[in-house]
Amino acid sequence: MTTSTSPTNGPAPTAADRVTLAASARGLARVHGRGDAAVHALRGVDLDLPAGRFTAVMGPSGSGKSTLMHCLAGLDAPTAGTVEVAGQALERLDDTALTLFRRDHVGFVFQSFNLLPMLTAAQNIALPLELAGRRLSGAVRERHDLVVDVLGLRDRLGHRPAELSGGQQQRVAIARALVSEPAIVFADEPTGNLDSAASAEVLGFLRRSVRELGQTVVMVTHELDAAAYADDVVVIADGAIRAHLVEPSADELVATLRGER
């Protein structure tokens, strides 16, 4: 069991520093508002997210989890600092390039599923490919079929969202996020609208996408049960990283969240 904090100013580089990073941030700050009303949502965050890991982001309400995720995903611009995703510095991209970069390299899963109600599951899943002008054939078709099978959606492809359970809808949303083989998938409270059985199922599929498809998943969650599916846990408090726990035990995680470690 290892507890590591930000490596930037730490000791000499170790083997862990040479792993491929899906995303990283340096000196990330985000201030909302100005003057007396200014809210320092992020206060100089340094973070490395290794590829092929399932990382949960936890912390109290208002601690900066969503702001961090939005900055890492290129949905929000930091006030200061840098973000790299799949080796691309996001601050070097203009709005159009950033939109294209997100489309091709970043997947999103939201609490509210965000499926298009008039489209079938199959059409929802294929939508990112269609938007990118990619045909569903050859290697793209193979990838699509693998994702559909890993998520157990083969016999639900002709259904519209209203004809699916919440858990099935979220599995479709995950398949849609994975189909273009993004460098990183951001999931914002993906089980917030699901009962415990459906939550366990969805979390199990997110974990399979990391184990079996080699994806990188970053998930914001309030729930310890959800974080238990992740490999690593980033704990954030008051806009700063308190700890980056690598495969923590439940006790270690609870103690860190309570501020005991």
Ligand X SMILES: Nc1ncnc2c1ncn2[C@@H]1O[C@H](COP(=O)(O)OP(=O)(O)OP(=O)(O)O)[C@@H](O)[C@H]1O
| Selected range binding ligand X among 63-71, 131-139, 195-203, 204-212, rule: CB under 6 A | 63-71
Residue with tokens 């601050």: 91
61 binds ligand X (CB under 6 A): yes
Q: Which of 24, 55, 63, 124 binds ligand X (CB under 6 A)?
A: 63
41 binds ligand X (CB under 6 A): yes
- Return the bridge partners of 219, or none: 56, 187
By CB under 6 A, which span of 59-67, 98-106, 121-129, 176-184 interacts with ligand X? 59-67
**Stretch in the footprint of ligand X (CB under 6 A) among 56-64, 123-131, 134-142, 159-167:** 56-64
**Residue among 26, 49, 5, 16 nearest 210 (CA):** 49
Nearer to ligand X, 74 or 128 (CB): 74
What are the φ and ψ backbone dihedral angles of 20, each rounded to 5 degrees?
-70, 135
**Beta bridge mates, 185:** 107, 217
Q: Whose Cβ is closer to ligand X: residue 65's or residue 105's?
A: 65
Chain-centroid distance, C-alpha 73? 8
Question: What residues contact 228, with CB distance under 8 A and at least 6 apart?
Answer: 250
Q: With binding defined as CB under 6 A, does residue 137 bind ligand X?
A: no
In this structure, the number of other CB atoms found within 10 A of the CB of residue 248 comes to 25
- Burial track 17-50 (b if 16+ CB lie within 10 A, e otherwise): eeeebbbbbbebbbeeeeeeeeebbbbbbbbbbb
39 binds ligand X (CB under 6 A): yes
Closest CA to 54 of 235, 208, 225: 208
Q: Is 77 in the site for ligand X (CB under 6 A)?
A: no
Q: What per-residue string of b and e applies to 116-134 under the rule 16 or more CB within 10 Å gives b?
A: eeeebbbbbbbebbeeeeb
Taking contact as CB under 6 A, which single stretch among the options 54-62, 77-85, 142-150, 200-208 is the one that binds ligand X?
A: 54-62
Residue 64 sits in the site that holds ligand X (CB under 6 A): yes
Q: Under the criterion CB under 6 A, does residue 190 sit at the interface with ligand X?
A: no
Is 216 an interacting residue with respect to ligand X (CB under 6 A)? no
Pairing state between β 217-220 and 54-58 = parallel
Q: Which stretch binds ligand X (CB under 6 A): 6-14, 65-73, 107-115, 244-252?
A: 65-73
Q: How far is the CB of 194 from ligand X (least distance, A)?
A: 17
Min dist. Cβ of residue 30 to ligand X (A): 8
Closer CB to ligand X, 62 or 158, in the complex: 62
Stretch that binds ligand X, among 58-66, 117-125, 177-185, 195-203 (CB under 6 A): 58-66
Q: Which is nearer to ligand X, 65 or 102 (CB)?
A: 65
User: What's the CA gap between 223 and 221, in Å, rounded?
Assistant: 5
Q: Tell me how far the alpha carbon of residue 23 is from its chain's centroid.
A: 10
Question: Minimum distance from CB of 21 to ligand X (Å)?
Answer: 22
The site for ligand X (CB under 6 A) is made up of: 32-33, 39, 41, 59, 61-67
